Amino acid sequence: MIHIVAICAAILGFGCLCAAMARHQTDMLGRKLPSPVQQQFRRAGGALLLVALAIDMAGLGIAYGAIAWFGHLTTGAVMVLAILKWKTA
């Protein structure tokens, strides 16, 4: 269960970081967001990635949690990338 929650946090985090980029905003929304909103998306994305780290470390211990976090980050990034490719194709 820890893995699923951490992967979901990573997906949301990378989704927020993706939405903060002007290039992806036009692909996803058809327009660019104002700068304050972009900053909020960046902060939220970084916070969600740290939440995933905290979840992994709390559930698996510090050493194994850090290792699992890298795997969860990879899975989250691949899923966001796949969704972007599917959306823009």
Q: Exposed, middle or buried: residue 23 (CB in 10 Å: 0-12, 13-18, 19+)?
A: exposed
Of 42 and 88, the one with more pLDDT: 42
Whole-model pTM?
A: 0.90
pLDDT the model gives residue 84 = 86
Rounded to whole angstroms, the Cα distance separating 26 from 28 reads 6
| For residue 19, pLDDT beyond 80 | yes
Q: Are 44 and 11 in contact (CB under 8 A)?
A: no
Q: Are 55 and 5 in contact (CB under 8 A)?
A: yes
Q: How many folded domains does the chain comprise?
A: 1
pLDDT the model gives residue 25 = 83
| Residue 44 domain boundaries | 2-88
Q: Exposed, middle or buried: residue 35 (CB in 10 Å: 0-12, 13-18, 19+)?
A: exposed
